[in-house]
Amino acid sequence: MIENNQKYWNEGYWKRVINNQKNSFKNKNWIDKYKEIINKVEGNSAVDLGCGIGQDTKWLIDNGFDVISCDISNIALEKLKELIPNSKTLQIDIRETLPFKNNSINLVNADLSIHYFCMKDTIRIFNEINRILTPKGILIGRVNSDKNEGYIREETKVIEDNYYYDFEKYFRLFNKGQFDILAKDWKIIVLNEDVITRVNKKKVLWEFIFQKI
C-alpha cells in the first residue's frame, strides 16, 4: 500500500492550492498562543516536518529559530523558498528515518502533517521525532480529530481503526486513546481538542506539545 505519495501531494494538493493563490501567510499563526512555552525551549534548532509553503517556518524564524523545513513535495518547497528566500529546505518522506542525528534538534513542529499514516508508521514517526530531539526538546503540532463531521461517508474505506481512504487520500482521525499510545514516552505539556475554521470550514483538531523526557 503506497499512501499519499509525492505525486498526490504535488499534483493533487500543492499545484491546486498554489494555483488558487492560497499561498500567502496569515497574519495570526496558531502557534502564537503557545509562545510562552516555546520561548522556554533551550537552544534554537528546529525542524518543520511537512512544512508546506512555510506558514509555521516563517513564525519559527521570526521567533529566533534556525529552521530546516522538510516536506515530501518539491513544489511546496520551491514555493517556500520563493516566500522565505534564506530558508533551508529538505525534501524527505517522514515515514523514513529522519536525516538528523540523535539528540540534535530543540524543537520539531508537525502541523497537520502527521495524520495521514497507518498506526505503525505513526508510532514510528513519533519515535523518530523523539530520537532526534534533545532531552527536554519539544514536539508541537496539530492533527485532525475523530469528531470532525463529513470526513466519513458510506463509500469511505476503513483501512484500520481510525484510518481511512476517501477523497483520493488516506487519512487518520485522532482520539484520546491514540494519544495514550503515542505520548506514553513523552511528558505532555499541552493536549487540547479545539474547533477552528480553516479554508471556510469548521475543523476539529487536537493541538499538542510533548516534551522529550
Cβ proximity of 129 and 108 under 8 Å: yes
Among 71, 129, 137, 172, binds ligand SAM (CB under 6 A): 71
Closest CA to 121 of 99, 158, 93: 93
Q: Which is nearer to ligand SAM, 22 or 35 (CB)?
A: 22
Residue range at the interface with ligand SAM (CB under 6 A); choices 89-97, 100-108, 126-134, 204-212: 89-97
Contact flag: residue 111 with ligand SAM (CB under 6 A): yes
For cell 481538542, name the residue: 193
Q: DSSP class of residue 148?
A: -
> Any alpha helices (H) in 133-197, and if so which ranges?
176-182
For cell 509553503, name the residue: 53
Q: Which is nearer to ligand SAM, 187 or 201 (CB)?
A: 201
- Backbone conformation region of residue 59, classed left if phi is above 0, alpha if psi is from -120 to 50, else beta: alpha
Among 65, 116, 171, 174, binds ligand SAM (CB under 6 A): 116
Tell me the per-residue interface mask from 48 to 67 with ligand SAM, x by CB under 6 A, - otherwise. --xxx--xx-----------
Count of C-beta atoms within a 10 Å radius of residue 55: 20
Contact flag: residue 113 with ligand SAM (CB under 6 A): yes
Q: What SS3 state is found at 164?
A: strand
CB of 17 to ligand SAM, least distance (A): 9
Tell me the per-residue interface mask from 22 to 51 with ligand SAM, x by CB under 6 A, - otherwise. ----------------------------xx
Q: What SS3 state is found at 141?
A: strand
Residue range at the interface with ligand SAM (CB under 6 A); choices 92-100, 147-155, 161-169, 186-194: 92-100
Contact flag: residue 95 with ligand SAM (CB under 6 A): yes
Residues 145-184 close enough to bind ligand SAM by CB under 6 A: none
What is the C-alpha R_g of the chain? 16
- Which grid cell is 26? 496569515
Q: DSSP class of residue 152?
A: -
Residues that bind ligand SAM (CB under 6 A): 4, 9, 50-52, 55-56, 71-73, 76, 92-95, 111-113, 116
